Amino acid sequence: MNASDQPADFTRFDDTALLAWRAEARAELERLPPSSLGYARMTELYDESTCEVNERARRAWSRAN
């Protein structure tokens, strides 16, 4: 699995796949030059995945209360 090959619809990932994608994306960000287009795109995708993680956490906390 290559993080840059993954679709941006993170709602389709289960928790395990989402966390694995994020780990691979972080590793790819470490390899890419910060001024590259690939870095900018990966950062955008990573930020989108963060929104999904936050939404899942919000829903989980809402159910717990």
From CA 31, how far away is CA 63, in angstroms rounded?
39
58 in a structural domain: yes
From CA 58, how far away is CA 17, in angstroms rounded?
19
What tokens appear for 3 in the block? 């993080």
37 in a structural domain: yes
19 in a structural domain: yes
Q: How many domains does the chain have?
A: 1
Residue keyed to tokens 């395990």 = 16
CA 14 to chain centre: 12
Per-residue pLDDT of the chain (65 residues; tens, 9 = 90+): 466 665 579 999 999 999 999 999 999 999 999 999 999 999 999 999 999 999 999 999 998 77
5 in a structural domain: no
pTM of the model: 0.83
From CA 45, how far away is CA 8, in angstroms rounded?
6
What tokens appear for 12 in the block? 């389709």
Range of the domain at 27: 15-64
6 in a structural domain: no
